[in-house]
Amino acid sequence: MLHHKTNAQAEIFGSMPDGATVYSYELSNQNGMKLKVITYGATITSLKIQLENGHFIDVVLGFDTLNDYIKSFELKSPPYFGATIGRFAGRIKNSTFSLNQKAICLNKNNNNHSLHGGNKGFSQKLWNIESINDDMNSSITLTYASPDGEENYPGNLLVSVTYSLSNQNELIIKYKAVSTADTIVNLTHHSYFNLDGHQSNLSEQELFVNSNLLLETDSEYIPSGNYINLDNHAFDFRETKKCPSKIDNTFVVKNQNTIAASLFSKNNNLKMTVETNQPGVHIYVGGNCFNLLKGKGSTDYDAVSGICFETQNFPDAPNHSNFPSSILKKGECYQHKTIYKFRIL
């Protein structure tokens, strides 16, 4: 049942190839922070922050049209701009895992592996609006019912994602999921952030990651099951340093619900912190559209246009007994919370 208690208005964002309408909703807080979400992929298309000088900047990458979001999944490396990722974020080796002594073979969409839920994950689905309200925090809840066998995952899975804007300039994302059968679940958010605005590059922004361990991976970014100690490592970001031009790695989050990572722009005196109850944060720098699609405002996004903080369980977790379990038992509730907080320093 759709519950409205808000002044947020639905706007038509476009139509799917089958004619279904995709809507866009805008939330705001008392400080003028504005968030736009579309029902395609439960995707964040815009996040605007007011700077000290009164100007607003849009700190996430995206497209101006639904057609470009749809077409982006045909790129050789789809960017998943702002999308909700599921059923399983990250890669699953050889697209197979074992559950209850039964081998499950998923669809392959990344070499021999399954990435971000397969050929048509949650990021390409049409979500329903469950509720919109302005009680304490302006929020919107979207739901998707993933049928048993979709992308070969077991169980009917009912998923919800709630986006909230607090008056402390926090973007709070909460996920819930319940399945009719034992399954695996690993959801995440895939915005590419840029604190100088989505038309800039990241080269001067500073990264902090509160982690001393990295997952060891092979050349196809598949975890070995081992951890790399970050002492004297190039990816030790416990002391703030410039964003790397290339990174696609999962950091182990030791202390959940403290700051897991942060990004800082000296240019705008703007800082974003990331908190999560998840065991990992996968950090990825990218956004390249290979000059085939234009970003918002006809921007050409390249390999250093944005940075993702994908808070999640570990990639390939179902195939490693020493990783946190990604199994969701029948009838139990998966819950995940991540906060992106913005402050002018």
Binding residue numbers for beta-D-galactose: 190-192, 248
Residue 4: pLDDT over 60: no
**Predicted local distance difference test score (pLDDT) of residue 1:** 44
CATH of the domain at 96: 2.70.98.10
307-343 pLDDT, tens digit each: 999 999 999 999 999 999 999 999 999 999 999 999 9
Residue 287 backbone class (left: φ over 0; alpha: ψ -120 to 50; beta: rest): left
Q: How far apart are CA 125 and CA 83, in angstroms?
A: 10
Q: Mean pLDDT over residues 73-99, rounded?
A: 98
- The Cα–Cα gap between 201 and 161 comes to 29
Residue 232 lies in domain: 3-344
0.75 cut: is pTM over it? yes
Q: Two tokens at 135? A: 């009680």
Total number of domains in the chain = 1
When pLDDT is averaged across residues 101-120 and rounded to a whole number, the result is 97
Choose, from 113, 189, 310, 336, the residue flagged as catalytic. 310
- Residue 7 banded pLDDT, cuts 50, 70, 90: low
Q: Which residues are annotated as a binding site?
A: 190-192, 248
pLDDT tens track for 253-281: 988 779 999 999 999 999 999 999 999 99
How high does pLDDT run on average in the chain?
96
- Which of the residues 113, 116, 190, 282 is marked catalytic? 190
| DSSP-based three-state secondary structure for 15 | strand
Interatomic CA distance for residues 328 and 159, integer angstroms: 12
pLDDT of residue 255: 86
Q: What is the mean pLDDT of residues 26-32?
A: 94
Average pLDDT over residues 167-175: 97
Q: What is the pLDDT of residues 211-253, one digit of tens each?
A: 999 999 999 999 999 999 999 999 999 999 999 999 999 999 9
Average pLDDT over every residue of 137-153: 97
For the question of residue 204 being annotated catalytic, the response is no
Active site residue 190: yes
Taking CA atoms, 143 is separated from 27, 84, 94, 130, 178, in Å, by: 17, 11, 29, 6, 12
136 falls in which pLDDT band (50, 70, 90)? confident
* C-alpha–C-alpha distance, residues 193 and 191, integer Å: 6
The DSSP secondary-structure symbol of 243 reads: P
